[in-house]
Amino acid sequence: MAGMPPGAGALPAEWWERLAARLIEALVFGVFYYILFIALWGILRTVGVLEVFDGRLPGVFAWLVAGLGYACYDWRAHYRNGRTFGKAIMRIRLAPGDHPSRALLKRALVYPVPVMLIGIPVVNLLAGMLLFGVGLLILIDKPLERGPHDRLAGTRVVKDLR
């Protein structure tokens, strides 16, 4: 059927399942961020540039590195398994289908880019509003419940009934 998104007959994942999966992953990547932040703080303090940008440089670098790491992880996990570890725990996955690597990379970059921007003063408000908008779009997109990242990649998150 041309024009039908992948998994059109499958049950869509509930919004709270998708949110719980992202929160599970956020806990793990949050720990990674704080370890990275402490390491960067120590390095920048040692070389004498800690006070650049009023001491915010370690946080901005840590957000950028952690965000890029999450984007790479998200792309690879969806490309190889159709789901991340958070989705596996919540028993949801990307709908079966042909997901080209480039489309999944676009999908992976749409979510963490606003998260990476949260570490930058002033821009963080806009990034937070963008993330809120992504979540809102998932809620109001009935019956497929796809966010902008899903639309961009032609994917859909569904319940994994296996």
Question: Model confidence over 55-104: pLDDT tens digits?
Answer: 777 877 888 888 888 889 999 999 999 999 999 999 999 987 677 888 88
Q: Is the pLDDT of residue 4 over 60?
A: no
Of the candidate ranges 4-8, 29-33, 75-79, 100-104, the one whose mean pLDDT is the lowest: 4-8
Question: Is residue 79 in a domain?
Answer: yes
Question: Is residue 4 in a domain?
Answer: no
Averaged pLDDT, 128-145: 84
pLDDT digits (tens, 9 = 90+) for 34-43: 899 899 888 8
The answer to whether the predicted template modeling score (pTM) of the entire model surpasses 0.85 is: no
Share above pLDDT 90 across residues of the chain, in percent, rounded to a whole number: 25
Residue 1: per-residue pLDDT: 43
Question: Is residue 58 in a domain?
Answer: yes
Q: How many CA atoms lie within 13 A of 66 on its CB side?
A: 28
Residue 2: per-residue pLDDT: 47
Identify any residues that bridge with 158 across adjacent strands, giving them in sequence order: 12, 93
Averaged pLDDT, 15-30: 91
Question: Is residue 132 in a domain?
Answer: yes
Range of 62's domain? 15-159
Question: What's the structural domain count of the chain?
Answer: 1
Question: Is residue 9 in a domain?
Answer: no
- 86 and 22 Cβ atoms separated by less than 8 Å: yes
Question: Is residue 7 in a domain?
Answer: no
Residue 3: per-residue pLDDT: 52
Averaged pLDDT, 47-60: 76
Question: Is residue 5 in a domain?
Answer: no
Joined tokens for residue 150: 């899903």
pLDDT digits (tens, 9 = 90+) for 106-130: 888 887 777 777 767 788 888 888 8
For residue 136, give the amino acid letter: L
Averaged pLDDT, 15-20: 91
Residue 146: pLDDT band with limits 50, 70, 90? confident
Question: Is residue 57 in a domain?
Answer: yes
